[in-house]
């Protein structure tokens, strides 16, 4: 991509982070939903994958945030100031949630005396907190509510991208894809 063209789009690295994290978040939401409706034997295995993917999302999000802080993002042009404020707010909330939810899940597990196995590659030990099943349950409840908020934000984010692409015709989605037209 030429310099003027790429200035309207996110970098390829940012695009990869975006789409991998997006798919991982949706898969992790579906894992949590599946675990809630599974038998006890299946539930533990499904939640094990949910926890491992959550830690993976945390690591990817931290890497993405580091990338974003060290690489310029394309300017958000041709949108109303309220849309710019909403977009920035949603992005900040995404980062807070994508870091806070896995940390909260790890903390809740720690209150039950458990670490988090990450796909058999490594295990995060339980955090140094004493056993407190009530605190663990309360954090898991907040974690579930936070997960619902993230899914609503994903929906809002998708609707915003579609609005900008198809109604405003300013190339909204194509800023995060290596193809398609982003108008000048």
Domain boundaries, the chain: 3-176
The two structure tokens encoding residue 28: 């992790």
Going by C-alpha positions, the residue among 116, 132, 144 that lies closest to residue 35 is: 144
Which pLDDT tens digit goes with each residue over 83-118?
Answer: 999 999 999 999 999 999 999 999 999 999 999 999
For the segment 134-157, the average pLDDT, to the nearest whole number, is: 97
Percent of the chain with pLDDT over 90: 84
Which pLDDT tens digit goes with each residue over 31-48?
Answer: 999 999 999 989 999 999
Helix (H, G, I), strand (E, B) or coil at 178: coil
Task: Specify the DSSP class assigned to residue 166.
Answer: I
User: CA 109 to CA 55: how far, in whole Å?
Assistant: 13
Q: What are the start-end ranges of the H helices in the chain? A: 3-6, 12-36, 40-70, 81-111, 133-162
């Amino acid at each position: 991509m030429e310099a003027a063209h790429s200035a309207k789009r996110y970098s390829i690295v940012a695009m990869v982070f975006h789409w991998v994290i997006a798919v991982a978040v949706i898969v992790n939401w579906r894992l949590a939903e599946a675990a809630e409706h599974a038998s006890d034997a299946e539930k533990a295995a499904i939640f094990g994958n949910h926890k491992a993917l959550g830690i993976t999302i945390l690591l990817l999000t931290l890497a993405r945030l580091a990338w974003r802080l060290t690489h310029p993002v394309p300017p958000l042009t041709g949108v109303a100031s309220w849309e710019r404020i909403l977009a920035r707010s949603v992005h900040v909330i995404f980062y807070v949630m994508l870091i806070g939810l896995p940390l909260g899940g790890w903390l809740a597990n720690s209150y039950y005396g458990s670490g988090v196995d990450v796909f058999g590659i490594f295990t995060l030990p339980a955090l140094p907190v004493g056993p407190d099943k009530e605190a663990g349950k309360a954090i898991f409840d907040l974690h579930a509510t936070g997960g619902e908020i993230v899914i609503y934000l994903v929906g809002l984010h998708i609707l915003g991208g579609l609005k900008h692409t198809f109604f405003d015709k300013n190339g909204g989605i194509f800023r995060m894809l290596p193809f398609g037209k982003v108008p000048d």
